[in-house]
Structure 1
């Protein structure tokens, strides 16, 4: 590899790590009530993807309300936990690479900037309707992110007062430009996987 190309890659990695400038600290948040949890899987992309990491984001301070139509979830972007080691360890080889504190801080800075979290600090997922009987349900929800609201269908497995599901969303559908440097040499993919487990009070 040429000296110039090595220099470009070093610059890109520094940008991804968010080494330049002060970094915002995570906002303190309470643990989710009732055992509910939500996490987001973010996948590396670009022609030099192997130099980056896949990431997992945990919604600390997740709030869940239970109106008649179905649950409403809300969380703040500045309370997201970035790459908790225990979560990474449980996600298999694709998340096996080590992510140190500096890299986590850089990911947080880039994420909050890309999502314009200062102007749009909260994500809300509101159930609109449900179909089906037994453990598997089709659910339509309204997702509000980055000042944009979209409707999305997904499948949920229900067991009594517990529910588990996942949905794929695209950042571009919400007016978000997926993070990239050097013309896409290093980037994150547009599609995100959102996974959640909900426990209704009284379970």
Structure 2
């Protein structure tokens, strides 16, 4: 009977996970990044290279039946934004509906040991976008950072789910000697509830996602090369 009961619970969980509610439509084309309010005419800007940058968020399972679930890693490969090295400012953003879920290589990198099925991954993505993050209503996540007195710590305004929180963000920066590119990396712990998000749970909380999530990033930013005869200034 115990085995039958557990199978019934899992069947109910799967039914919720694989709900057929449609996902938010993907954007037709990337929207232009708004110019930062702090940008000056003579300021050198480096532009984030999406194909060389990565942001990941790892969420872990909780509840009495946590052993039956999976931890998950979601990732953005489409970061947009600019970095101003001289004043130590940065602005970046990404769309929630462009994030991937549980890429095998990223699961290994995060040290996740279970192997969710394709159906479980699809269900996780659906629940993340529709039930938890309300991605159709709040499609963008934005981060605006400014260097503090400590060269390796930034104050970062993170806007998620329509809520902005300011956190201290440790960042390791490696800048090219010619100043035309840099790499930045870092990580921090956040709580979903700090952004008005209710962590996903079913079966009365017996299967749930923990409130805490782990954000990590590796960003490459480069000076844009002006087209010959365009008249554009370097780094603009």
The TM-score with structure 1 as length reference comes to 0.86
Matched, 1:132 2:150: yes
2:212 corresponds in structure 1 to 191
Contact 2:148 2:155 in 1 (8 A): yes
SS of residue in 2 equivalent to 1:163: strand
| Equivalent residue runs for 1:20-169 within 5 Å | 20-24=19-23, 27=26, 32-33=49-50, 35-67=52-84, 68-92=87-111, 95-113=112-130, 114-133=132-151, 137-160=152-175, 161-169=182-190
CA root-mean-square deviation: 2.4
Q: In structure 2, how many angstroms separate the alpha carbons of the residues matched to 1:117 and 1:22?
A: 13
Deviations 1:52-93 (A, max 9, x none): 11111111311121244422120001111011112112222x
Runs of 4 or more off by more than 6 Å in structure 1? 28-31
SS of residue in 2 equivalent to 1:119: coil
The structure with the larger Rg is: 2
Q: In structure 1, how many angstroms separate the alpha carbons of the residues matched to 2:13 and 2:172?
A: 41
Q: How many residues align?
A: 196
* Residue segments in structure 2 that go unaligned for 5+ positions in a row: 31-47, 176-181, 224-236
Q: In structure 2, how many angstroms separate the alpha carbons of the residues matched to 1:42 and 1:64?
A: 25
Deviations 1:25-66 (A, max 9, x none): 883788953612111111111111111111111113111212
Q: In structure 1, how many angstroms separate the alpha carbons of the residues matched to 2:169 and 2:188?
A: 6
Deviations 1:4-35 (A, max 9, x none): 454123212432xx223255388378895361
Contact 1:78 1:121 in 2 (8 A): yes
Contact 2:24 2:129 in 1 (8 A): no
* Residue segments in structure 1 that go unaligned for 5+ positions in a row: none
